[in-house]
Structure 1
Amino acid sequence: MLELTGVSRTVPHKRGTLTVLNEASFCVPPGHLMTVIGATGSGKTSLITLLAGHDAPSQGAILFQGRDCAVEAPHPNSIGHVPASDDVLCEALTVRESVMSALMLRVAGQSREERVARASHLLVGTGLETAATARVGTLTLPQKRRLKLALALVSDPALVLCDEFTDGLDARSERELAALLKFVAGDHPARVVIHATQTVGNLAAYDTVVILHEGHVCFHGPSRAVTHYFSIPAMDELYPRLAKRPAERWGDSWCRHRDSYYEAFKLGGLGEPATSLGDEESAAARKAGAGRTGFTESRTAAAAPEPPPLPSATAQARHLMLRRWTLMRRTRAQWLRHLGVLLLCPAAAVLLVLPNRGFLEKLSADAGPEVLWPAAYTCMMALWVQILLVLMMAVRAGAREIGGERPLYERERAGGLRLGAYLAAKLGFVLPLVLLQSLALGVLADMLTGGLPGHALPRLLLLALTGCAFGCLCLGISACSADAGRAHSRAWMLFFFNLILAGALLGFPRVLGGVIHPFITAYHGWSGSVETLRDTAVFEPVTRLVRTWFATPAQAMWALGGHSLVGVLLAWFGLRNRR
């Protein structure tokens, strides 16, 4: 049983606080299908968010299966949340793969055969068995709604919350999905299904209706009583009728009539509800009722089976990592872009070095300025261009990685996905990708040009560490951004910040450079690489071309490791905050 008592929710507002839900009180018994209807801004989504445990009520109590949710949060597998957005689906997976993925992230201890059997059962139950092998991106809108419901049901939850599940559909699809929700409500001994919607055309399919208006509960009861209570000829007149009075007055009116209506329709389970609104109901409405929540204490809740345990964080991370690599392999445009970066960036570095290769070949201890200075400039710029190319690779790999699938992450997080598992999976995708591209850039550039003077191995390690550090920073920016577009633009801003300030450091006094350089990823990768030229003839000319301080390779590696840690912590902080 689900019971709300005086539940309110206030949020910050430019003029103080705004009450989006005002003292909502009602009760929903097991096996019950209830709809919450109201116009945009009435508080439906806020109510669903509170019931799902994503937010805490400002006051009041939510009791689920006899436990106060504020004291003992329900197990993630006891709640199935169906969000309104279709962005929570992964379009490159098939329908069956999506359900199998949800099972691997939410339910532990199942063999592959058991997962396949459970996935098949869910697909049949939600009417998706004929679309099991279709890509999610090719599904129709009603099919996507069915898939979201199937994903919410993988753990056999006792509470199913649907937000705008039938909104925007044709009348036939709306009826079919409402009937599907009714089937879902009766398929579990202790299940409660709540559907928040704006549509009022199919209310007869639900056991009871809660009507919200600007955060106030204006009615709770069977749908056939709505027209009588609001004195309207048809349900289409509900919203115009609500607009004629302030929400506070509707809420106060319902508080006065609530108990008598509960008694009239016998919502406490003491008998069959009345079939009409005649004299007997009018007499019953004048009696004291069953209480504030609408169900008497004599109603016995069905025993709810224990929810299945969650997989370990390691198992979740491993599955997410494999899924991400599968998605890249399956998305042609994505892997073609990464392949292009892998091939074109070394070519750009080679084009810079080859025209001046003759100066590098003439280097010797007694070489004249006509050789030393061009060779020094070539080495310095070649290292700088390689660092910039690595930063561009990191932006391409990490900037959109979390921001582009934020709704998907939030859905899976609500189902028990651990933050650490998700972050580890993202690092397991971005870092190897950047590492591969960075090493390919350094190795291919050296092979095609004959290499720069100095120690090649530390230089190659610095190139790879620079890419990993900037990839972590881009991943952190992506986690702190609301969408992929903002994450991408912010990552490029960081790139140009590195480009401008690192270039400016070449002419800054050493005192000023010492204040700025700790914050510039590109500087550490470049200066450490320049330091590998110390035992060569070009190092002295380089130190005269620029006025900045050069970090040793070891110092640069430590600094880049610190930047990587900052990026990981930023990603952790961003993923903790719900969006």
Structure 2
Amino acid sequence: MLEINNLSHVVPGKGKEPLRVLEQVSFSAPGGHVLAVIGPSGSGKTTLLRILAGLTEPEAGTVTLGKRDLIKQPLYANQLGWVPAGDDNLIEHLTVRENLTSAAMLRGAGRTRDEVISRVSHVLVTVGLENIATERTSALALPQRRRLKLGLALVADPVIVLCDDFTVGLDVRSEREFEALLKLVASDRPDRIVIHATDALANLGAYDTVVVLHEGYVAFHGPARAVPHYFTVPTYDEVYARLAKRPAQRWGDSWMKHRDAYYAAFKLGGGVADKLSAAEEDPGDEDRTIIMKQKGDSDEEETKKPAETETRPIIPLPGIFSQAQHLVKRRWSLLRRTPREWITHASLLVGAPGVAALLLLPNLKLLKDMRGGSTAPDVVWPAANTVSMIVLIQILLVMFMALRLGAREIAERRALYERERIGGVSPTAWLLGSLLFMLPIILVQSVWMEMFLDIVSDGLPGTGPAKLLLPALSGAAFAAICLGISANSGSKERAHSISLTLLCANVLLCGALLGFPRIMGHVVHPFITAHYGWSGIIDSLEKTAYFDPIDKMVKTWFATPDLAMTMLGVHFLIGVVLTFVGLQRRA
């Protein structure tokens, strides 16, 4: 039995009075039950679901399942099935079966492959998708997508299933089918409770009971057949209009006055005769009561033995590294199936070194003359400038690739992440999965660019470790920072815009173009990733003929390769921390 007692919640107002979203909400639901929570927009339905899911902590009240206080001890992830309102939390480039299998892998530890296949097949049959299991999600119609969302919530065999506006946007026939589907889901496990928060009123008869919320107050709880009589309206569709004619608190007070009598009638299964409806109540007569009449002539209560329910073990969650491993495999699979994405990465892998080589090509003779020992000013100065600029271009191109990888990686998949996080996927696993996907690509791109430029130029000046490691570390550090921006941004467009602005700042402030005075440089450059990649490589040229002209051209300071690597490591860690903080934030 799920019992909600005197649940209240307040949302702090920004410069305004706090908004009371829920006010002393109380009702209960037994196992095998399908309950609808209805009410106009803003009545508190979604907030109620989030409290039941453990996503929001209420101001007051209790929520218990059996003897367990869900406020103090929220449901285990695999005891909860969460069906969010949006349709953007599915993985478009996976098939229906692959979506379900991925969810099962992330939510179940110790399962054999056959057990996963068996569970996924059972869910496919339950939600009616077995005939299109091999279709990609992007090809599904809206009703099929809703069935898949429900299936994803069921892969862990939860005891409570919470659906937020599950049928919004569907036609009446589809609504009727989905409400029947919810009853099937509830019957699939004897102790399962399904709660659906919805604005729809057309098919309330499909639910076992209905809770009517109005501006945070419970205005009614009972069988749908009693709703029209209680509110003295001919059809369900007129309930909201009736609610608007009285203050929410009066509806709440009226229900509290009549609740026990209604509950007694519902328990007896009796028809209600001479019943005073709340809408007809005289607001000045607080002593009036509801008169109940039972079926038949007997006044004895019918007693029912509680149904025996099977106890199923809770499926344990996989460890962080197991989840991260699956997320990395899935991300690579999605990359292969998204032509636009992998073609872009392949084009950058080939095109970026080509662009750098074209910029280097006009001055290759100068570099050759320098290697031959020329000390003529008209050779040394342009050759030194060429080396400085090609190092900067190399660093910036790697950082641009990192931006493309990191800026949208989380912001673009935020809805998917939120769904999977509620299902038990660790934020740390998502962080590791994102990094383990991005870093190999950045490493390959930076190393290949350096090798290509070395081949074209017959060997760029500088020490091997600095030339190879610093571009890669610059890319990794900037990718982590962009990932942090992505995790803390409300949209992929905003994340990309902020990251691009930061890249432009790196171009202007890294000190490679003209350079700041040393004192100002020491203040600015600790925040500029590109400065350490560029200056660390330049400093490694200190014992070559290139260094003095560069040192005279720019007045900024150069970080040693060791300091540059250390600071790039610090930037990487800052990005990781920002990402983790953003992933911990609730949507």
Considering the TM-score relative to the shorter chain, is it more than 0.5?
A: yes
Aligned partner of 2:272 in structure 1 is: 277
* Structure 2 letter corresponding to 1:8: S
Tell me if 1:149 matches 2:147.
Answer: no
Tell me if 1:333 matches 2:340.
Answer: yes
Aligned partner of 1:348 in structure 2 is: 355
Q: 1:312 aligns with which of 313, 319, 335?
A: 319
Q: How does 1:506-545 map to 2 (within 5 A)?
A: 506-545=514-553
* Structure 1 letter corresponding to 2:66: Q
Residues in 2 aligned to 1:280 and 1:534: alpha-carbon distance in whole angstroms: 95
Tell me if 1:232 matches 2:227.
Answer: no
The number of aligned residues is 567
Residues in 1 aligned to 2:182 and 2:209: alpha-carbon distance in whole angstroms: 13
Tell me if 1:262 matches 2:263.
Answer: yes
Residues in 2 aligned to 1:565 and 1:397: alpha-carbon distance in whole angstroms: 17
Aligned partner of 2:51 in structure 1 is: 50
Aligned partner of 2:3 in structure 1 is: 3
Residues in 2 aligned to 1:64 and 1:137: alpha-carbon distance in whole angstroms: 38
Q: 1:405 aligns with which of 413, 416, 422?
A: 413
Aligned partner of 1:453 in structure 2 is: 461
Residues in 2 aligned to 1:493 and 1:16: alpha-carbon distance in whole angstroms: 37
Q: Displacement of 1:512 after TM fit?
A: 1.1
Residues in 2 aligned to 1:533 and 1:46: alpha-carbon distance in whole angstroms: 61
Residues in 1 aligned to 2:11 and 2:289: alpha-carbon distance in whole angstroms: 39
* Structure 2 letter corresponding to 1:16: E
* Structure 1 letter corresponding to 2:521: G
3-state SS of 2:62 partner: strand
* Structure 2 letter corresponding to 1:277: V
Aligned partner of 1:470 in structure 2 is: 478
3-state SS of 1:565 partner: helix
Q: Would the aligned equivalents of 2:512 and 2:554 in 1 still touch at CA under 8 Å?
A: no
Q: Would the aligned equivalents of 1:264 and 1:285 in 2 still touch at CA under 8 Å?
A: no
Aligned partner of 1:77 in structure 2 is: 78
Q: Would the aligned equivalents of 1:29 and 1:301 in 2 still touch at CA under 8 Å?
A: no
Q: Would the aligned equivalents of 1:123 and 1:129 in 2 still touch at CA under 8 Å?
A: yes
Residues in 2 aligned to 1:169 and 1:86: alpha-carbon distance in whole angstroms: 13
Q: Would the aligned equivalents of 1:106 and 1:415 in 2 still touch at CA under 8 Å?
A: yes
Residues in 2 aligned to 1:365 and 1:23: alpha-carbon distance in whole angstroms: 87
Q: Once superposed, what is the RMSD of the aligned Cα atoms?
A: 2.0
3-state SS of 1:61 partner: strand
3-state SS of 2:9 partner: strand
Q: Deviations over 1:361-383 (max 9, x none)?
A: 11155511111111111111111
Q: 1:482 aligns with which of 476, 490, 495?
A: 490
- Percent identity between the two aligned chains: 52
Q: How does 1:321-400 map to 2 (within 5 A)?
A: 321-363=328-370, 365=373, 367-400=375-408
Aligned partner of 1:293 in structure 2 is: none
Q: Would the aligned equivalents of 1:524 and 1:560 in 2 still touch at CA under 8 Å?
A: yes
Q: Deviations over 1:84-110 (max 9, x none)?
A: 111111011000001100110111111
Q: Displacement of 1:215 after TM fit?
A: 1.2
Aligned partner of 1:248 in structure 2 is: 249
Cα 1:540–1:297, aligned 2, differ >3 Å: closer, same or farther?
A: farther
Residues in 1 aligned to 2:23 and 2:345: alpha-carbon distance in whole angstroms: 51
Q: How does 1:170-185 map to 2 (within 5 A)?
A: 170-185=171-186
Tell me if 1:120 matches 2:121.
Answer: yes
Task: Give unmatched runs, 5+ long, in structure 2.
Answer: 278-287, 294-302
Q: Displacement of 1:458 after TM fit?
A: 1.5
Q: Would the aligned equivalents of 1:10 and 1:58 in 2 still touch at CA under 8 Å?
A: yes
3-state SS of 2:446 partner: helix
Aligned partner of 1:548 in structure 2 is: 556
TM-score relative to the length of structure 2: 0.93
Aligned partner of 1:140 in structure 2 is: 141
Q: Displacement of 1:255 after TM fit?
A: 1.2
Q: Would the aligned equivalents of 1:505 and 1:513 in 2 still touch at CA under 8 Å?
A: no
3-state SS of 2:7 partner: strand
Residues in 2 aligned to 1:286 and 1:73: alpha-carbon distance in whole angstroms: 40
Cα 1:137–1:505, aligned 2, differ >3 Å: closer, same or farther?
A: same
Q: Displacement of 1:251 after TM fit?
A: 1.2
Q: Would the aligned equivalents of 1:469 and 1:564 in 2 still touch at CA under 8 Å?
A: yes
* Structure 2 letter corresponding to 1:569: V
* Structure 1 letter corresponding to 2:567: A
Q: Displacement of 1:279 after TM fit?
A: 4.2
Residues in 1 aligned to 2:328 and 2:473: alpha-carbon distance in whole angstroms: 21
Cα 1:450–1:508, aligned 2, differ >3 Å: closer, same or farther?
A: same
Q: Would the aligned equivalents of 1:498 and 1:521 in 2 still touch at CA under 8 Å?
A: yes
Cα 1:63–1:298, aligned 2, differ >3 Å: closer, same or farther?
A: farther
Q: Judge which range, 440-449 or 95-104, deviates more.
A: 440-449
Residues in 1 aligned to 2:342 and 2:543: alpha-carbon distance in whole angstroms: 41
Q: Deviations over 1:330-359 (max 9, x none)?
A: 111100000111111101110111101111
Q: Deviations over 1:376-399 (max 9, x none)?
A: 111111111111111100101111
3-state SS of 2:81 partner: strand
TM-score relative to the length of structure 1: 0.95
Residues in 2 aligned to 1:410 and 1:77: alpha-carbon distance in whole angstroms: 15
Residues in 1 aligned to 2:321 and 2:451: alpha-carbon distance in whole angstroms: 33
Residues in 1 aligned to 2:344 and 2:324: alpha-carbon distance in whole angstroms: 25
Residues in 2 aligned to 1:375 and 1:181: alpha-carbon distance in whole angstroms: 73
Residues in 2 aligned to 1:465 and 1:165: alpha-carbon distance in whole angstroms: 46
Q: Displacement of 1:503 after TM fit?
A: 4.2
Q: Displacement of 1:281 after TM fit?
A: 9.4
Residues in 2 aligned to 1:476 and 1:205: alpha-carbon distance in whole angstroms: 46
